[in-house]
Amino acid sequence: MESGVGEAATAGDLIEIRFDCLESAELEESLRQVADLIKYTNRPLIITFRPREQGGRRDLDFASRIEFWNNRPRSADFYDIELDLVPLFLSATPKMGSVDWQKVICSHHDFVGIPDDLEKIYERMASTPARILKVAVQADEITDCLRVFRLLEMARSAGREMIAIAMGSAGIVTRILGPARGAFLTYGALEAETRTAPGQPTAKELRELYRIDKIHRQTKIMGLIGMPVCQSVSPHMLNAAFADSGEEAVYIPFEVRNLNAFIRRMVGPRTREIAWNLRGLSVTAPHKTAVMAYLDWIEPSAREIGAVNTIVISDDLLLGYNTDAFAFLKPVMDQHGSLRDTRSAVIGAGGAACAALWSLQKQGGARATVFTRDREKGSALAEKFSAGWEPLAGASFTSFDLVINATPLGTRGSLEDQSPATEAQLRGARLVYDLVYNPIETLFLRQARRAGCKTIGGLPMLVLQAAEQFKLWTRAEAPLAVMQEAAKRALHSSVLNSQI
C-alpha cells in the first residue's frame, strides 16, 4: 500500500484508497496503516468502502459498512459515504459515531444508466450537510453527458461543491472537462489494469495526454466522433500537436451511436444544449457518409468522394472536408512516383475505398479495379468512380502495380489475424498499401513481403490526414514529426497493453 500511495502522489492531487478492494482479513491492518501512510505523501486522502451494487469490489452488508465507518481512520481528509448511509449519521444514534461533515463526500452511483429521477437524487444529496456531492452514472449515449453537465451547473449556481461523472466510454468527456466546468475533482486510475469504473482514464493520461490542468471554459475543443473510438491514436497525435504549438485546445474521443441526436444537441451552434467552445471534429466509421446530411457546406472534393472526415465549426456553420484523399496519395507518390498508366486494385467498398478511388481517378491514366465480396456494393462503387469490379474470392493481383487494403481486416483486436488476400494472391504485385495502421505490421503486409512486394503501412496516411485537420482548425502548419512520434508511442503502448 505504501508504494501505491507514493506512486499515486506523483500522478494526482488527491489519493483515493479503496478499502472495498481488500478482503476482510486485510481490513483491520490496513486501517491501522492509514496514519502511517500520510507520512508518505502530502496529498489529501479519500477513504472509500463501497458495496458491489454501487461499484465496489465486494458484497458488503449494511452492518459491515456501518462497522467500517465507525472504525474509520480519523486522520483521513475525506470520507466517500453513499447516500443511503447518510441518514444513519444524521440520526446521531449511539450506534453511529459523529462525523465531520466538512470531510464527507455524499455519493450516489448507478451502473445501469441515467436514473429518471437524477435531479431529485441531487436534491436529496444537496439537503444533507455533506461538503461535497458526488454522482456517477452510466452513459450509454454521449448525449447522456448533458444531464451530468447540468448537475454541475446546478451545484455551481447553488454554491455547492460537486463531482459529476458519466461512466462508460461514452462518458469520458465528463471526466476530461468536468474540472473546467466546476467539478471538485475527476478520477484517474493509477494503472490501466486498476480502473475502478468503466471508461476511466489513467491519471497519467489525464495529465499528459489531455493536459487537464490547462483546460478552462474557453479552451477550444476538438474531437473524434465514431463508434468505437476509445482506442484511437488520434487523441495522442493531435493533443501532442496542440501542446507543441502552444494552442489552447484539447482533442477528445466522442463515442457516438445516435449521430442525429449528437449533432442536434451537442454540436449544432443553433441547437446545442451545452455552452462549450467546440471548434472542430474528426469523423470516422460509421459516420463519414451519414454526417454529410447535417452540414451547411461541403467542399466539392468531399462531396465527390461521398465521405467527410473533418468538420470545421465557423460562424455558426458546420463545414465539411475530406483530408483522407490527400493523405492517401502522398505516401504512394513518395515511393512510386507518378501513377499515370498504372493499374491499381482497391479492396473494400467503404469510406476509405472511396477516398482512394477518387484520388486515383484524379491521376490521369490511372486505371483502378474494385475487389469486394459483396457484388452489389462493389459494382456500385466501381461505377461511381469509372473503375472496374471483380470478386475478391479467388482474385489474383499479379498484374497490378498497386494493391490497396481499404478494409478493416487486420486491425488490432478481433480482426488482427485476418487479411483480405493471401500471399499467393499478392505474388507479382509491385506495391502493396495497407490503410490499417494498428498494428503497424499487419498480416496483409507480412504476406506481401513474403510474396516479394514493396509495402506501405497505414501510419503515414494517418499522420498526414490528421495534420491537414490540424491546419483546417488552427490555420497553422502541423508539427508532423511530433505527431508521428506521438502516434508511434501510442501504438507501441497498445501492443504492450494487449500483451499484459
Question: CA 352 to CA 40: how far, in whole Å?
Answer: 52
Helix axes 145-158, 118-126, angle to 10 degrees: 30
C-alpha cell belonging to residue 239:
493533443
Half-sphere exposure of 400 (CA within 13 A, CB side): 25
Query: Is 335 strand, coil or helix?
Result: helix
Q: Which residues of 55-82 are buried (b: 16+ CB within 10 A; e: fewer)?
A: bbeeebeeebbbebbeebbeebebbbbb
Q: Please answer whether residues 321 and 308 qualify as being in contact, where contact means their C-beta atoms are separated by less than 8 angstroms.
A: yes
- Predicted local confidence at residue 395, as pLDDT: 96
Q: Please answer whether residues 82 and 111 qualify as being in contact, where contact means their C-beta atoms are separated by less than 8 angstroms.
A: no
For residue range 414-423, list pLDDT tens digits in order.
999 999 999 9
Query: Is 367 strand, coil or helix?
Result: strand
Query: What are residue 381's phi and psi, to 5 degrees?
Result: -65, -40
Question: What pairing do the DSSP bridges indicate for beta strands 343-347 and 317-321?
Answer: unpaired
Partners of 404 in the β-ladder: 346, 433
Of residues 322, 334, 362, 368, the one with CA closest to residue 472:
322
C-alpha cell belonging to residue 436:
490499417
pTM value? 0.91
Indicate the helix (H) or strand (E) that contains 355.
helix 351-361
Residue type, 72: R
Total residue length of the chain: 500
Q: Please answer whether residues 456 and 481 qualify as being in contact, where contact means their C-beta atoms are separated by less than 8 angstroms.
A: no
C-alpha cell belonging to residue 22:
481488500
Which residues of the chain have a pLDDT value below 50?
A: 94, 496-500
Question: What pairing do the DSSP bridges indicate for beta strands 310-314 and 317-321?
Answer: antiparallel
Classify residue 200 by its DSSP letter. P
For residue range 197-240, list pLDDT tens digits in order.
767 899 999 999 999 999 999 999 999 999 988 888 999 999 99
Q: Where are the alpha helices (DSSP H) in 42-128?
A: 62-70, 86-91, 118-126
Q: Please answer whether residues 284 and 231 qualify as being in contact, where contact means their C-beta atoms are separated by less than 8 angstroms.
A: no
Catalytic option among 288, 362, 384, 471: 288
Partners of 104 in the β-ladder: 79
- Predicted local confidence at residue 430, as pLDDT: 95
Q: Please answer whether residues 165 and 114 qualify as being in contact, where contact means their C-beta atoms are separated by less than 8 angstroms.
A: no
Q: Please answer whether residues 411 and 207 qualify as being in contact, where contact means their C-beta atoms are separated by less than 8 angstroms.
A: no
Question: CA 320 to CA 308: how far, in whole Å?
Answer: 6
Helix axes 24-37, 2-11, angle to 10 degrees: 60
Query: Is 281 strand, coil or helix?
Result: strand
- Predicted local confidence at residue 365, as pLDDT: 74
- Predicted local confidence at residue 499, as pLDDT: 34
User: What's the gap between Cα 25 and its chain centre?
Assistant: 38
- Predicted local confidence at residue 40, as pLDDT: 67
- Predicted local confidence at residue 496, as pLDDT: 37
Indicate the helix (H) or strand (E) that contains 41.
none
Max distance between CA atoms of the chain, in angstroms, equals: 90
Q: Which domains does the chain have, with CATH numbers?
A: 2-209 (3.20.20.70), 221-322+463-499 (3.40.50.10860), 325-457 (3.40.50.720)
Cis peptide before 439 (omega within 30 of 0): yes
Helix axes 480-499, 234-245, angle to 10 degrees: 140
Query: What are residue 100's phi and psi, to 5 degrees?
Result: -85, 105
C-alpha cell belonging to residue 386:
469509372
CB atoms within 10 A of CB 349: 24
Of residues 243, 224, 221, the one with CA closest to residue 232:
224
C-alpha cell belonging to residue 279:
471548434
Residue type, 227: M
C-alpha cell belonging to residue 278:
467546440
- Known catalytic residue: 288? yes
- Describe the chain by its helix, strand, coil percentages, rounded to 5: 45, 20, 35
Question: Which residues, including other chains, have CB under 8 Å from residue 413's CB and lie 6 or more apart?
Answer: 231
